[in-house]
Amino acid sequence: MGELFSLLKNGNKPSLAAAFVNTFLGIIKGAAFFFTGNVAMFAEMMHSFGDAANQFFVYIGSALSKKAPTPKFPNGYGRVVNLVCLGAVLIVAILSYETIKEGWHHFIHPATESHGIFIALGVLSIGIILEGFVLHKAAKEVLHEVGVEKAGMMAIPQSAQYLNRAKPATKLVWMEDLVATSGNVLAFAAIVIAYFTGFYRLEGLVSIIIGLMMFYVVGRVFLDNARGAIGETDEEMMIHIGNLVMEDRHVSDIARIEVIKEGEFLHVEVVAETDKSLSLDYLDDVRDHLVELILAQKGVTKVTLSFDEEDGITQWKHEPTE
């Protein structure tokens, strides 16, 4: 039990914050839907509860993925976070379907008047503020993970260009809260427009749009984490580490290099070519230096490095990165 609590302390903080925020929002949106019967509010209630469940799972998965390797699982538990994310998106997919179905029903059979508009707008205003806060926090975490600090108010647009390099849990929270914030704004606009124009079909249409946005997140997260669960190569880090190894004067070529994502971590395997006249004792010191250098790179937790004799055929052709 002590180990579990220790792991939970290292879980993804943005996902935990988002889970609590979305649970609170789901409750107040549910109360608002009960009193107003507004279908856009129903869509937002489903969205918030789906995100809350998703993000609680992701938080736990990100914590468990940091469990140290064991003799039975020598590669560690890094891919647990990918498996948890795959399971979590199923919840969002079901709620997305229900949201679209309810929106379609309301579009075909729209209400004739709107009730409790100020309750609905007040709840959505709270949602915009809280979801925007969590989105900003997730954006800052994305930038922190890629080594960019002090983004300030521009954190959200700036983080978008680095999203593919973010950890799986942080990326999921960023995407879900971007959709959640946008959904709150759309629902707010739909209620106001419907109230002043009498076009109540718009609330059903917005509910469908929110459901489709949720499905988009499901698709992106599923594909990203399916690749992670199988074992995906980090091309950028592979080139970077390969160039680092090639800078060593004892290495003449790289016969093979693999940099595999294990959840939030990277496992590296390198077979380097060197002069066969060098002694094993000397090469052992070279190996220790290179392993230490590779382990110092961001995200790398495991390195396997071996030497092979130079064969005269150049295989590593990447130019050094700037």
Task: Please give, one letter per residue, the 3-state secondary structure of 245-279.
Answer: HHCCCCEEEEEEEEEEEECCEEEEEEEEEECCCCC
Residue 2 pLDDT class (50, 70, 90 cuts): low
Residue 241 pLDDT class (50, 70, 90 cuts): very high
The phi, psi pair for 209, rounded to 5°, reads: -60, -45
**Alpha carbon distance 312, 296 (integer Å):** 30
Identify the bridge partners of residue 309 per DSSP, sorted by sequence position.
274
Q: Does 294 score more than 60 pLDDT?
A: yes
Identify the bridge partners of residue 251 per DSSP, sorted by sequence position.
274
Q: What is the rounded average pLDDT of the residues 51-57?
A: 81
**Alpha carbon distance 183, 202 (integer Å):** 14
Burial 262-289 (b: 16+ CB within 10 A, else e): bbbbbbbebbbbbeeeeeeeebeebbee
**Which pLDDT score is estimated for 290?**
94
User: Which pTM value belongs to this model?
Assistant: 0.70
**Alpha carbon distance 166, 139 (integer Å):** 10
Residue 292 pLDDT class (50, 70, 90 cuts): very high
Q: Does 54 score more than 60 pLDDT?
A: yes
**Which pLDDT score is estimated for 114?**
62
pLDDT tens-digit profile of 23-38?
A: 998 899 888 888 877 7
Q: What is the mean pLDDT of the chain?
A: 83
**Alpha carbon distance 180, 25 (integer Å):** 11
DSSP-derived secondary structure for 108-125: HS--SS---HHHHHHHHH
The structure tokens 């399916």 sit at 226
Contacts of 175 (CB under 8 A, 6+ apart): 163, 217, 220, 221
In order of start, what are the domains of the chain with their CATH numbers? 2-230 (1.20.1510.10), 235-309 (3.30.70.1350)
The residue that leads in pLDDT, 224 or 318, is 224
Q: CA separation (Å) from 132 to 171, 185, 222, 283?
A: 15, 11, 24, 54
**Alpha carbon distance 283, 105 (integer Å):** 71
Residue 196 pLDDT class (50, 70, 90 cuts): confident
Residue 70 pLDDT class (50, 70, 90 cuts): confident
**Which pLDDT score is estimated for 320?**
54
Contacts of 118 (CB under 8 A, 6+ apart): none
| Cβ–Cβ under 8 Å, residues 94 and 13 | no
> SS3 for 289?
helix
End-to-end CA distance of the chain: 46
Q: What is the rounded average pLDDT of the residues 277-305?
A: 90
pLDDT tens-digit profile of 85-98?
A: 787 778 778 878 88
pLDDT tens-digit profile of 116-174?
A: 788 888 988 998 998 888 888 888 888 887 777 766 778 888 888 888 778 777 887 88
The phi, psi pair for 204, rounded to 5°, reads: -65, -40
Burial 124-157 (b: 16+ CB within 10 A, else e): bebbbebbbebbbbbbbbbbebbeeeebeeebbe
